[in-house]
Structure 1
Amino acid sequence: MPAIQLGTVRRGNGTWFDDDDEHEQLKTRPSSPEPRYLTASGSSSDGTTSPLLGSFKSQNNYPDASRRKRLDGESGLLRSARLSGLRCLRWRFCPTRPASILLFLASFALFAVALTLFLIWYLNPDKVVLPWRAYCAVPPDSPKMPAANAIATETVSPAQLLALYNSSAPFAQPNVPLFPPEDFPFDWETLPPTGIFLGVMSIDSATELRMLARTTWASHIRSRHGAFPGDGGRSTSRTIVRFIIGQPRPEWKEQIRLEQELYQDIEILPITENMNSGKTHAYYSWAAENAWVPPHIPESDPQKFPPYVFDYGDATIAPQPLAPHDPRPSTNATRREWVRPDFVFKTDDDAFIMLAELEARLRVELYLSRAQGLLMQPPSDPLTFWGYLVKNKFMAGEIYGLTWRLVRWVATEPKLRSMTHGAEDKQTSKWIRLHPSADHVRWQSEHCWIYDHPRANKVYAHGFLFPSEVKRLREEVTIFMRRVRDAIGLHGRTLTSRTEELETTPTSLDDRTLTNFDTISESGSSSEYPLESETRDTISSTSGLTADSWWTDNHRKWFARTTVSKFGGRYVSPVAGRDDGRDGMKWRVEGLVEGSTVSRLVDFDRVTPLEAYKAREPRHVRYEDRRVGGTIAVHFIKHKSWYLETASAFLAGDEEDEFSPQTPPELS
């Protein structure tokens, strides 16, 4: 067969052309697309292949079929997100290199942290320091239950201050103590002591905190007997302290069992350890069956006050094992069966409780609640919810308690079992609002004598408080509020808005006092201890002051000021750098006492820490020669050193010679 001339091609119409002539035309023509559903290579089952036909394997015939099926099953939201991601990758500013990716991730992390901190700040209800001086300048709140839908309000209203501090108001007299109530019909000390079961919420690993509580406020004579000379332990003879924990973890079971056997003061609930997932409800359910306290023995009580008769008074049990910090009966008294407590309390293990102070308040409250219950039809056992009412909403979780009738109801009411998750203090307040006799429950709140540790940097924090300082601040408030009333009455003069003119002038160590400071240091007497009663003239010539407009941020700060705590900043001791000696720790603790000379030391260069410490008030002066009437609880003690500072301020000191020539009374 003759060779074919490859350079020549026959046209479709029969004519011939040379491919060199048409080369340029062929180059400009678009190439034919490959078959959409055919592959250009492959092998058939018979081994033949064709570069034009390709392979017809079934799995490769439709390569987009699985993709289309996958897209058909994709939700619209996922598809939009995927497409947005693809567009982002095509965006010219999208990071594609390692350096730009790292920069983007770092920027995003900073944004996330900033957003988190902002949300924490925004959602935190405690952003403004509280006017605690106003809390100590007004009578206790009404025991009426706050409305469930009430708007969170100030504990003390400006109108209340104006009404209380007028020329004829008896409470405006600072010599009238905050406790006991002035209108109490007789000597409250003659009432029988109150039975209190105090459960301290703890965890298996908090061994050191439990030991600190056992060796300080749970057993110390000044906590149980009160200030000198005390009452011999009568007041807290029916007060029992126990530590409440959930089921210990496996690695802690042996240690908890040994600790429980040694101290007899740990109660283990049948629940997994938690704080806001039902532990409080489990505790009160347990207490309804297992809480017992020593009985009141009238014949051994010299006061001879008739004992109360309650419905739960007939329930008894054999005397329970005593913990080292439990009250002991007198040597000549026969141990009697234990009875149900009048109050069951819950507190945190970062709280420091003065037991005699707590019992004194509850003794008066039990009498008042009993009197109210007798007026009900039918008569009822006491109904009291006692604690620190926060923003007119709920009792704060650091310490609160229920009378026995409320405890039994909480333990047996079925619908409360579905209300155990969430902030435990808020949940407990919700429970009490659901009580069948909720309108008759007394919500007794104590705002002046429950606060956070001075170093806590919280709105509830200020210096350690004693009755003598409260008397001084009430004198200041009396003068200040009368000036406010005068300004309102004049209608042409108002208080200045400048902060510096609203501050009172501390005169405890002013130039006038320094001239006689040696005399004060030697005597240690409070007779020459100047009062913080001088205020600068806060009245200016501007007009417009009314009873509704006088309360400004500056006035709020005036009522919130403290000589110790600095809200929003780190606490710095006034003797920092000068407390390395033997007495340095005493100076540091004294600097945490509200209104003390050491707490104001930073304002006076000519006074040494030793001189300021010697000018402090003796303990009996701080308590105004009363057994009780001061701090009940200090909360938010987050460090062991803070705990020891609190114990030193309220229990220790160099006033041990108060007991001379007799020895301190013992608990046993």
Structure 2
Amino acid sequence: MKQRWVIRQPPSLALPSLVLLLLFFFYILFNIRVKSLLLASPANHSITPTKTPHTETKFSILIGILTLPDNYDRRHLLRLVYGIQSSSTAQIDVKFVFCNLTKPEQRALVALEILRFNDIIVLDCVENMNNGKTHAYFSSLPRILPRHYDYVMKADDDVFIRLEPLSSSLKPLPRQDLYYGFVIPCNSMNPFVDYMSGMGFLLSWDLVEWIGMSEIPANHTFGPEDKMVGKWLKMGNKAKNRFSNKPGMYDYPGTNGRCSHELIPETVAVHRLKRQGSMAACA
């Protein structure tokens, strides 16, 4: 009589098989339950996505700080000053602006800065203060920038700008035909009386484009740069929307008579910060 051999599965293998069988069983029950719930739902059987809070689109500002190629230390200080700031209402880019480089060491060191920080604009002009640099700055932007901004600001390298108060003050203002800054003379509150101080003034993008196309600015570039911008706008019948941010913009205490006062919480910009210590006091 032949002997039968019965192969028995070891208990260690039978237990995992049982677990897999139970998991498969629960999977089937779960799918049946889900399908029954869907069939019992309203006829459209649609799932409404959760509504996310509406995020307001930020407007954009370019701040161009007109400086000199050799002012390396000042640029590094300002990078620290603006690098720790942000704005909840505006997307703000800060760039350093100067004319053509004339020294070998400038070409080498500025090239390294551009590679590291990408925050420098080199204009095709001879370095100057009151002979066309501001015109070269504004008129070049529509041609050299890959995008446009809602506002473009020109600022000195001895001014400290607080980005959040700046953007908050701009938020309710028009995006077209706007001229914003600190009106001169110092004791005036009328933004139409003359021109905005060169410490830091801002133009809407349409005015930047106009400066690049109009012969009025191109034919009137010699003279105090802030005064010339006011003259351009007056001759062209531009900047019908004007805003002088006083007392939020001012000269550092004790530096310039009526244009200066004590530091205040609502500060937007402080001018004439020639020493690093005064810059630190504002920051």
TM-score range, shorter chain: 0.7 to 0.9
SS in 2 for 1:267: strand
User: 1:193–1:363: 8 Å Cα contact kept in structure 2?
Assistant: no
Per-residue CA deviations over 1:363-398 (Å, capped at 9, x if unaligned) read 111xxx25xxxxxxxxxxx11111111132111000
User: 1:347–1:400: 8 Å Cα contact kept in structure 2?
Assistant: yes
The equivalent of 1:454 in structure 2 is: 253
Offset of residue 253 of structure 1: 2.0
SS in 2 for 1:631: coil
Paired with 2:102 and 2:211, the residues of 1 have a C-alpha distance of 28
- Residues 261-300 of structure 1 mapped to structure 2, 5 A cutoff: 261-291=115-145
The equivalent of 2:7 in structure 1 is: none
Q: Tell me which of 47, 51, 57 is aligned to 1:192.
A: 57
Q: Tell me which of 192, 196, 219 is aligned to 2:83.
A: 219
Offset of residue 260 of structure 1: 1.5
The equivalent of 1:295 in structure 2 is: none
Offset of residue 455 of structure 1: 4.5
Offset of residue 192 of structure 1: 3.5
The equivalent of 1:493 in structure 2 is: none
Offset of residue 259 of structure 1: 1.4
Q: Tell me which of 275, 278, 282 is aligned to 1:642.
A: 278
TM-score by length of 2: 0.74
The equivalent of 1:244 in structure 2 is: 97
Q: Tell me which of 225, 230, 239 is aligned to 1:424.
A: 225
User: 2:184–2:197: 8 Å Cα contact kept in structure 1?
Assistant: yes
The equivalent of 1:165 in structure 2 is: none
Offset of residue 255 of structure 1: 1.3
Paired with 2:228 and 2:167, the residues of 1 have a C-alpha distance of 25
Paired with 1:361 and 1:194, the residues of 2 have a C-alpha distance of 12
Q: Tell me which of 382, 386, 408 is aligned to 2:180.
A: 386
Per-residue CA deviations over 1:454-507 (Å, capped at 9, x if unaligned) read 2525332222101xxxxxxxxxxxxxxxxxxxxxxxxxxxxxxxxxxxxxxxxx
Paired with 1:404 and 1:285, the residues of 2 have a C-alpha distance of 11
The equivalent of 1:357 in structure 2 is: 165
SS in 1 for 2:139: helix
Structure 1: any 5+ residue segments left out of the alignment? Answer: 1-189, 226-233, 292-316, 318-338, 371-381, 467-629, 648-668
User: 2:216–2:235: 8 Å Cα contact kept in structure 1?
Assistant: no
Offset of residue 273 of structure 1: 0.8
Q: Which has the higher strand share?
A: 2
Paired with 1:243 and 1:417, the residues of 2 have a C-alpha distance of 23
Q: 1:443 to 1:219 in 2, by over 3 A?
A: same
SS in 2 for 1:271: coil
The equivalent of 1:400 in structure 2 is: 201
User: 1:456–1:637: 8 Å Cα contact kept in structure 2?
Assistant: no
- Kindly provide the amino acid, as one letter, of the partner of residue 99 in structure 2: G
The equivalent of 1:662 in structure 2 is: none
Per-residue CA deviations over 1:58-98 (Å, capped at 9, x if unaligned) read xxxxxxxxxxxxxxxxxxxxxxxxxxxxxxxxxxxxxxxxx
User: 2:132–2:221: 8 Å Cα contact kept in structure 1?
Assistant: yes
The equivalent of 1:414 in structure 2 is: 215
Q: 1:458 to 1:249 in 2, by over 3 A?
A: farther
Paired with 2:167 and 2:270, the residues of 1 have a C-alpha distance of 16
Per-residue CA deviations over 1:111-138 (Å, capped at 9, x if unaligned) read xxxxxxxxxxxxxxxxxxxxxxxxxxxx
User: 1:193–1:359: 8 Å Cα contact kept in structure 2?
Assistant: no
Q: 1:449 to 1:191 in 2, by over 3 A?
A: farther
SS in 2 for 1:346: strand
Offset of residue 245 of structure 1: 0.8
The equivalent of 2:113 in structure 1 is: 259
Paired with 1:452 and 1:284, the residues of 2 have a C-alpha distance of 24
TM-score by length of 1: 0.32
Offset of residue 406 of structure 1: 0.7
- Residues 233-632 of structure 1 mapped to structure 2, 5 A cutoff: 234-236=88-90, 238-250=91-103, 251-291=105-145, 317=146, 339-365=147-173, 369=174, 382-391=176-185, 392-435=193-236, 437-438=237-238, 441-466=240-265, 630-632=266-268
Paired with 1:269 and 1:350, the residues of 2 have a C-alpha distance of 20
Runs of 4 or more consecutive aligned structure 1 residues displaced over 6 Å after TM superposition: none
Paired with 2:257 and 2:154, the residues of 1 have a C-alpha distance of 22
Paired with 1:399 and 1:200, the residues of 2 have a C-alpha distance of 9
User: 1:194–1:362: 8 Å Cα contact kept in structure 2?
Assistant: no
User: 1:394–1:425: 8 Å Cα contact kept in structure 2?
Assistant: yes
Structure 2: any 5+ residue segments left out of the alignment? Answer: 1-54, 186-192
Paired with 1:425 and 1:219, the residues of 2 have a C-alpha distance of 27
Per-residue CA deviations over 1:520-566 (Å, capped at 9, x if unaligned) read xxxxxxxxxxxxxxxxxxxxxxxxxxxxxxxxxxxxxxxxxxxxxxx
Paired with 2:102 and 2:135, the residues of 1 have a C-alpha distance of 21
The equivalent of 2:43 in structure 1 is: none
Paired with 1:459 and 1:274, the residues of 2 have a C-alpha distance of 28
User: 1:246–1:272: 8 Å Cα contact kept in structure 2?
Assistant: yes
Paired with 1:457 and 1:432, the residues of 2 have a C-alpha distance of 26
Please say if 1:210 is aligned against 2:75.
Answer: yes
SS in 2 for 1:247: coil
User: 1:280–1:424: 8 Å Cα contact kept in structure 2?
Assistant: yes
SS in 2 for 1:341: coil
Paired with 1:445 and 1:192, the residues of 2 have a C-alpha distance of 25
User: 2:253–2:260: 8 Å Cα contact kept in structure 1?
Assistant: yes
SS in 2 for 1:282: helix
Paired with 2:279 and 2:258, the residues of 1 have a C-alpha distance of 19
The equivalent of 1:499 in structure 2 is: none
Which protein is bigger by CA-based radius of gyration?
1
User: 2:216–2:232: 8 Å Cα contact kept in structure 1?
Assistant: no
Q: How many pairs does the alignment contain? A: 222
- Kindly provide the amino acid, as one letter, of the partner of residue 243 in structure 1: F
